Amino acid sequence: MQHKILITGGAGFIGSHVVRRFLTNYPEYEIINIDKLSYAGNLENLQDVADMTNYTFIKGDIVDLQFLKKLFKKYKFTGLIHLAAESHVDRSISDPLEFIMTNMLGTANLLHVAQEYRKKNSGFLRFYHISTDEVYGSLGEKGLFTENTAYDPRSPYSASKAGSDHLVRAFYHTYNFPVVLSNCSNNYGPNQFPEKLIPLAINNIMLSKEIPVYGKGENIRDWLYVEDHAAAIDLIFHKGKPGETYNVGGNNEWKNLDLIKMLCKIMDQKLDRTEGTSERLIRFVKDRAGHDLRYAIDSSKIASELDWQPKLDFKTGLSETVNWYLKNQDWLDHILTGEYELYYDQQYSKR
């Protein structure tokens, strides 16, 4: 099949890995990446594939309905992978409306335009919505999120993602629109914006700056290497069943403090610093409001139905991630100016 796929948010962290994977694994496909290039969108993430003949980048906002209508008129899409979103929980606490606009209204616009387009174009086969495990709320010490866990979002970010998930499923039930969804755990890896825990800590350690750990560092996340997520997205796009949801996770739970300590050890070795140097940078700061205690995913459905497993073990993944940031100081330098400095001060100076 010769697909023409619209990828939204392809200049972001996960999106850029998905765009690269589809361009290189499926040279017969045409990939159109639309991205607003918010603070998190960065075309440097895709420099190595930008000139491929089967790739087109278009700057655009999914909140702009007219832009989407024109786009669907121009390109005969056969499928869509929707990653564009406001994605950082802390920013959603200080600016929730931006999250409602992009994550809910933006997704509603895409659904509406794609559904109208499909009425006249039977070639449109798939609307794939990428979501998060945060929609399920917070776990206690035991248990895992399954595809049947009731939604219980607790931050403006997760509530806006939950709202978008509901809209996507509503289009399936109401219009028989060919949707598929996945809800994934915490990703890490190259190209992640240094507002998220792992790249923020890597950057601070490189600069010998304090590492802010919220509360007592006891919150637990289930970490997955971004390319393992991209592999799951590839499988779900091609083989997932219409109307179905697939949970994707790393089976890799870490308390924040333990994770940071492991990262400190890895970085002391790589930076040739005496063991314990980076750990001394850890600083416990005021907790995140409504901080979810624990996320953990049951990935047995995607494992049994689509034969997906995470490939990279955490220590190797973390070590490769650190190598990438050490080698790509330019990428970081371009980010660590202007807006980032302002954000960092607002977020951390009063904690």
Asked if residue 250 lies in contact with residue 225, where contact means CB atoms within 8 angstroms, the answer is yes
186 is an interface residue for ligand DAU by CB under 6 A? yes
Q: Is 133 a catalytic residue?
A: yes
Residue 321 contact among ligand DAU, ligand NAD, none, beta carbon within 5 to 8 Å by kind: none
Q: Is 134 a catalytic residue?
A: yes
Q: What span, in angstroms and rounded, lies between the C-alpha atoms of 147 and 149?
A: 6
Closer to ligand NAD at the Cβ: 62 or 267?
Answer: 62
**Where would I find the H helices in the chain?**
13-25, 65-74, 89-94, 96-99, 107-120, 156-175, 197-206, 226-239, 256-270, 300-306, 314-327, 329-335, 339-348
231 is an interface residue for ligand NAD by CB under 6 A? no
Looking at 126, 221, 229, 294, which residue binds ligand DAU (CB under 6 A)? 221
Asked if residue 281 lies in contact with residue 239, where contact means CB atoms within 8 angstroms, the answer is no
Stretch that binds ligand NAD, among 60-68, 266-274, 296-304, 307-315 (CB under 6 A): 60-68
Closer to ligand DAU at the Cβ: 9 or 79?
Answer: 9
Catalytic-labelled residue, pool 117, 157, 225, 246: 157
Give the pair of three-digit tokens for residue 213.
């750990």
36 is an interface residue for ligand NAD by CB under 6 A? yes
**CA triplet 231, 61, 100: central angle to 5 degrees?**
85
Beta strands 179-184 and 186-188: pairing type? unpaired
Stretch that binds ligand NAD, among 68-76, 181-189, 197-205, 233-241 (CB under 6 A): 181-189
Residue 312 contact among ligand NAD, ligand DAU, none, beta carbon within 5 to 8 Å by kind: none
Buried b / exposed e over 25-35, threshold 16 CB at 10 Å, is ebeebbbbbbb
Q: What span, in angstroms and rounded, lies between the C-alpha atoms of 271 and 79?
A: 45
Q: What span, in angstroms and rounded, lies between the C-alpha atoms of 258 and 217?
A: 8
Closer to ligand DAU at the Cβ: 79 or 199?
Answer: 199
CA dihedral 26, 27, 29, 31 (to 10 degrees): 100
Asked if residue 233 lies in contact with residue 13, where contact means CB atoms within 8 angstroms, the answer is no
186 is an interface residue for ligand NAD by CB under 6 A? yes
Looking at 40, 197, 248, 282, which residue binds ligand DAU (CB under 6 A)? 197
Residue 61 contact among ligand DAU, ligand NAD, none, beta carbon within 5 to 8 Å by kind: ligand NAD
Q: What span, in angstroms and rounded, lies between the C-alpha atoms of 249 and 184?
A: 6
Q: Is 246 a catalytic residue?
A: no
Is the C-alpha dihedral spanning 218, 90, 190, 61 positive or negative? positive
85 is an interface residue for ligand NAD by CB under 6 A? yes
219 is an interface residue for ligand DAU by CB under 6 A? yes
Q: What span, in angstroms and rounded, lies between the C-alpha atoms of 87 and 103?
A: 9
Looking at 132, 149, 160, 203, which residue binds ligand DAU (CB under 6 A)? 132
160 is an interface residue for ligand DAU by CB under 6 A? no
41 is an interface residue for ligand NAD by CB under 6 A? yes
Is the C-alpha dihedral spanning 333, 338, 339, 344 positive or negative? positive
Looking at 7, 12, 247, 267, which residue binds ligand NAD (CB under 6 A)? 12
Residue 89 contact among ligand NAD, ligand DAU, none, beta carbon within 5 to 8 Å by kind: ligand DAU
Query: CB atoms < 10 A from the CB of 141, how many?
Result: 7
Catalytic-labelled residue, pool 30, 35, 90, 133: 133
* Binding-site ranges for ligand DAU (CB under 6 A): 87-89, 132-134, 185-186, 196-197, 200, 212-214, 219, 221, 256, 288, 295
User: Catalytic residue numbers?
Assistant: 133-134, 157
* Binding-site ranges for ligand NAD (CB under 6 A): 8-9, 11-15, 35-38, 40-41, 61-63, 83-87, 102, 106, 130, 132, 161, 184, 186-187, 193
